[in-house]
Structures are given as structure tokens and as C-alpha cells.
Amino acid sequence: TFDVTVSTGGPTPFSVTTKSIVMDSVSFTVNPPLCHFLGFGLDTQGYCVSNVLPLQDLLKEEGYAKYIPNYSEAFFSSWSEDTVEDKIDVLDTYEVSQDIVVVVFASHGSKWGGIECPQGSLEKKYVTPGELKSFLGCLESNNLVVIVNTCYSGVFINELSQLTNKHHVMTSCKSDEESYGFAGSYYPSWSMQNKINHVGSYFLRYLYQEFLDGESTSTAFNNAYTSTVYHTQEILHDPLDMHPQQHYTLTQLLYLCL
């Protein structure tokens, strides 16, 4: 239901209440803008679910969401390359250039460059960097955040950096590194802080904490980078160090949470 102020050209506009509006070439600005989310996890096990759903919750729950939540979906176990393309097309029907769009993947990655899909024929088993760039190319948003949390995910930086949208692309590691983390878990009834405390990925746990603390995507990435590198090098003393990567073309700082 909308309250609409209507003018007939006379000196006194009048108000009406309507349940639908038919518009022809009408442009408008929503303030705050809408925020859309699309997430993909390899399976329903705790690690992948914990890497996706806390961010979805942050972007739509009252008290945390900075923007008006709109289209928001997450998929586990039952998606393929075609699903990714189809759902981005669906998202495109909701978003406009001023909107915030967040797309996150938490899956396995291949050394030759691809996000593993849980379903699909052999040729549809992986979403490659070029394919993801093509799929995302339909979006209008100039506040596009893409997060790829897979082994060898740094391979996506080169292709996604060519997106014409103003964007912030983040990956959990370099193109020659593995991505790993904690034993993640997720329960809807948990507090937001507890959900983030149980995020499986080293990088995503630190990144989501920064979002929760009200940092911009730029500051959040930089701090999460430092924490991830420190954790893998100084705490674990693991030869498989992680160095998250990014490409940033946003014209202003983007804050995802209050």
C-alpha cells in the first residue's frame, strides 16, 4: 500500500492511498537504497553453510542491515552453473544502478580456475572466471560486491576486474594457494556474533566481523587480510599461507552494516 501525493496542476495537491501503481518511464531514488544478496555453498554441511548464511543475515536483519533488504536467496547442494546464471538473471530484475548487490560463493576451487558446483554435467561442473564475469555483466548495480571463497580463488581477480560496474571483488587467497579454515557451524537461533564466531573460513570470519563492526568493504578487506595472513603464518605456522586478493573500483566507501 502506497500513500501518493497527486497534483492536477492546480494550487492544491491531494493525497490518495493505492495498492498498486502502474508506471511508464518513471525514475526514482530509494533512500536508503535496496540491498540484494545471492549466495552459493557447496553443500549443507556446517562449513559451507556457515560461510554464507551469516552474511545473508547481516544484510537483512533489523538492527544490522544498513539498507532495505530486497531479493535474498542462498543455495546449497542443488545448484549448477546454469543455476548461477539463472539466479543472477533473476536478481537483475530486482536491482538498479544505485542498489547494493552482494554475491558470495563458498565451495571447492580447481587449480585451472573454477568454482565447483554440486550438480551439473561434466561441462557444467565448474563456474569459470570468464563465465562468472559474463553472468554478472547483466547487472546494473554500481555497488557490486563479489566474494569468492574457494581454493585458488585469486584466479578470478583478473576476469572480474574487467566488470564495467563499480565493484569490490574479493577472494580468500591467491591463484596458487589453498583456502581453508575452522570447523564451521550455523544455527538460525544464534546471536549474530555467535554466528560469525562459527564461520568456517579464516578469511570470511574476519571479514564478516569487520562488517559487523561497521567497517566499509575497503577497511574490512584490509583488516581481514592482515588477520588471515597472521593466523596462517604466525599462529598455525602452516606452509599453506593464505593471502586474500581484491579489486576495487567503487567511487565511494561502501558500508554494508550499521
Secondary structure (3-state) at 51: helix
What is the per-residue DSSP string for 179-242?
A: --B------TTS-HHHHHHT-SBHHHHHHHHHHHTT-BHHHHHHHHHHHHHHIIIIIS--SS--
Alpha-carbon gap, residue 258 to 241, rounded angstroms? 32
Q: Grid cell 497534483 — which residue?
A: 7
Which residues in 102-116 are b (16+ Cβ under 10 Å) and which e? bbbbbbbbeeebbbb
Q: Is 147 helix (H, G, I), strand (E, B) or coil?
A: strand
| Per-residue pLDDT tens digits of the chain, which is 258 residues long | 444 444 444 444 444 444 444 444 444 466 778 999 999 998 888 888 999 999 999 999 999 999 999 999 999 988 999 999 999 999 999 999 999 999 999 999 988 889 999 987 767 789 999 999 999 999 999 999 999 999 999 999 999 999 999 999 999 999 999 998 888 999 999 999 999 999 999 999 999 999 999 999 999 999 999 999 988 877 666 667 899 999 999 999 999 999
Question: Helix, strand, or coil here: 169?
Answer: strand
Out of 3.30.450.20, 3.40.50.300, 3.40.50.1460, 3.40.50.720, which CATH number does the structure's domain 32-238 have? 3.40.50.1460
Question: CA-to-CA distance for 2 and 5, rounded, in angstroms?
Answer: 10
Look up residue 145 and give its three cell numbers.
560486491
Confidence at residue 32, expressed as pLDDT on a 0 to 100 scale: 76
pTM of the model: 0.87
pLDDT for res 182: 82
> How many angstroms from the chain centroid is the CA of residue 219?
16
Give pLDDT, residue 239.
66
